[in-house]
Amino acid sequence: MVDTASRSTKTPADERRTPTVPAKPARDEVAAPIPAPAADATPVESAPRIDVAALGRQLLGTWADIRIAARERAAQPELQRIEGQTMAEHRERVLEQLQRLADDGAVHRAFPTALGGDDDHGGNIAGFEELVLADPSLQIKAGVQWGLFGAAVLHLGTQYHHEKFLPDIMSLKVPGAFAMTETGHGSDVAAIGTTATYDEAKQQFVINTPFRGAWKDYLGNAALHGTAAVVFAQLITKGVNHGVHAFYVPIRNAKGGFLKGIGGEDDGLKGGLNGIDNGRLHFTNVRVPRENLLNRYGSVAEDGTYSSPIASPGRRFFTMLGTLVQGRVSLDGAATSAAAMALTIAITYGNQRRQFNAASDTDEEVILDYQRHQRRLLPRLATTYAQIFAHDEFLVKFDAVFSGKADTDDDRQDLETIAAALKPLSTWHALDTLQEAREATGGAGFLAENRLVGLRHDLDIYATFEGDNNVLLQLVAKRLLTDYSKQFAKADAGAMARYVVAQTAERAYHGTGLRRLAQTIADFGSTARSVSELRDEETQRELLTDRVETMIAEIAGRLRDARKLPKADAAAAFNRNQNELIEAARAHAELLQWEAFTRGLAKTTDPGTKQVLTWLRDLFGLGLLEKHLAWYLIHGRLSPQRAQAVTAYIDRLLERLRPHAQDLVDAFGYRPEHLRAKIASGAEQERQDEARAYYAAHRAAGTLPEPEKSKR
């Protein structure tokens, strides 16, 4: 280990911390299964330097100015969480904050310009995501009001509904709930039990929850504040069930009491997000006018005749749900922001906190100089960068669809698939990173004042919110299988078998650029040459792509004849492959992130920044290979020797990235008022400097007591 040392020149980022030089290799090269090539003996003065300001601007993405303005808003104490409040106090504070946002017009960008909005769908999400810096409860309650309740009226309703309901929703005069999820049906929305039966005589829909499992549950704004709800129910008219549709339903009077036929309960204290009044609703013969059906995709005439511009009930259902995809988009971005905050806190602390004196008789080591600490944090930093680049591309796609620039059926299906792929990975990554950051900051990380435990609790629900992550990945896998089957719709079994064989065996030896990867380490003569192959951009792309294609091809081969089987047998065949389907979808999402990182890297112009980001992208790519080494070994894509080279080069990348870790998190652009974590405020550096000065003064004066060991 080495001590920290000043650089020859200072940047603004340097002035906020004590910079470091690269750490020595943490393990003896002789003991390594395949020794990492010696680190470059490049003087610190000539090492690449990050342009933190330019990188920070790049990370802000397409809607940079909107994000900056939103961060300024999130820095206001009036919008920030007060730790230690009771649930009741927290709920009331968040409601007041919501009104502040509405009064400022801060959450209206996605609404029509005719109603005071901006018709800016991408900018709306970009600004909304930044509210997680202030308080996740505020972000999610705002999402319930304007991103779910209001968006349902906007996207599922027509001009009548927009003019009648949206102004009061936008102003928060009518707080509302998004009543889709039921106690008995979460992700399986198509099977919900609530019904809306049309009464021709009175031209009304009669809404019922016929059994306890059909109660609407976990609904923000339902326990206390909501006075209306968009209720999803099975639309029944003339004895025919036309599937799930949405209805605007008033639920409370001006005094806060439930209207006739409506009841509910408070979900009470939760594992997090306790600034939101989640609750349950149930309906008994609740009548609403025929016009309260949000009828963009399905209408009922006065005589009860049903009509829809989409003939297929299945396609109609998925189109309706697809219009509400922005929830998954925003969770992907907010989760990524939370991971970035956690890493900023943990890496800043790790750059200041000292522990053990392995390499010095006098000074303790900065804990980020330890290889294991780098292993804990820097790969997660690489993944967070990949997610930031992927999310911005995702948001651009979302904006194109919802603005009408690219709004074909294929565009919408692609958007839904990307949402279902990226949201699981980013939310799981946030939880994993928050937990690792908590552990990496020791007891200090467990204190509420340092935010990590609070963020971890609040984001826990993100893994199942807006769709259970495993269910979403299954949707991705089904899309991949559908796309794959289209290529072979008319292929006979022999052609299919030949393709699968090519994917599972021949591709590794004869695919573009991959044949070399099947060779042993001895063929190259040195670890350095092996590493040079692995760090090649096209090699990483081929390996990651090949895994997705092979997994889908293998599963498709096994399921090819399932559609000919009886329903129960076909379901059993699919179930036997469910885990592998989800893993294939996850591999696909990882590839999307790697590709986005690579495209972001290509747009980086500063040479020093580009070099460091290349190392970071390689750390992400090789980290995926290391994570899935068993698959690559089993399928013959990597030899055992080459697999060892993956880990060896990751260790080398950690050494290279170590001096740049602080710059990489500083580029996120979070100020102390955003982080609000004492251990990332400089207080730890002051404590360490005080302690070192104390011992240095006593050493100089010769007043330190002698250690017992020195007397032996």
Q: What is the mean pLDDT of the chain?
A: 87
Tokens of 337: 């922001």
Judge contact between 122 and 399, C-beta under 8 A.
yes
Tell me the mean pLDDT in the region 466-477. 92
Enter the pTM of the model.
0.88
Residue 561: pLDDT band (50, 70, 90) is confident
**For residue range 18-32, what is the model confidence (pLDDT) as tens digits?**
333 333 333 333 233
Cβ contacts of 362-368, under 8 Å, gap ≥ 24: 362/695, 362/696, 362/699, 363/3, 363/692, 365/1, 365/3, 366/1, 366/3, 366/4, 366/20, 368/20, 368/658, 368/661
Query: Of the given ranges (116-120, 221-225, 507-511, 633-637), which has the lowest mean pLDDT?
Result: 507-511
**For residue range 346-364, what is the model confidence (pLDDT) as tens digits?**
999 999 888 887 677 778 8
**For residue range 419-445, what is the model confidence (pLDDT) as tens digits?**
999 999 999 999 999 999 999 999 999
**What pLDDT shows up at residue 508?**
32
**What pLDDT shows up at residue 712?**
65
**What pLDDT shows up at residue 9?**
34
Residue 67: pLDDT band (50, 70, 90) is very high
**For residue range 240-298, what is the model confidence (pLDDT) as tens digits?**
999 999 999 999 998 999 999 999 999 999 999 999 999 999 999 999 999 999 999 99
Q: Is the pLDDT of residue 12 over 70?
A: no
Write the burial class of residue 625 (CB in 10 Å: 0-12 exposed, 13-18 middle, 19+ buried). buried
Neighbours of 685 (CB within 10 A): 17
Residue type, 91: R
**What pLDDT shows up at residue 271?**
95
Measured between alpha carbons, how far is 518 from 638 in angstroms, rounded to an integer? 6
**What pLDDT shows up at residue 415?**
92
Q: Is the pLDDT of residue 495 over 70?
A: no
**Between residues 540 and 574, which one has the greater pLDDT?**
540
Residue type, 343: L
Domains and CATH numbers, the chain: 60-171 (1.10.540.10), 182-312 (2.40.110.10), 326-666 (1.20.140.10)
**What pLDDT shows up at residue 488?**
58
Measured between alpha carbons, how far is 607 from 602 in angstroms, rounded to an integer? 11
Write the burial class of residue 487 (CB in 10 Å: 0-12 exposed, 13-18 middle, 19+ buried). exposed
Measured between alpha carbons, how far is 570 from 110 in angstroms, rounded to an integer? 43
Tell me the mean pLDDT in the region 448-474. 94
Tokens of 365: 């080591």
Write the burial class of residue 239 (CB in 10 Å: 0-12 exposed, 13-18 middle, 19+ buried). exposed
Judge contact between 562 and 573, C-beta under 8 A.
yes
Tell me the mean pLDDT in the region 563-592. 89
Q: Is the pLDDT of residue 479 over 50?
A: yes
Give percent of the chain with pLDDT exceeding 70.
87
Nearest CA-CA partner of 97 in 139, 58, 66, 35:
139
**What pLDDT shows up at residue 111?**
95
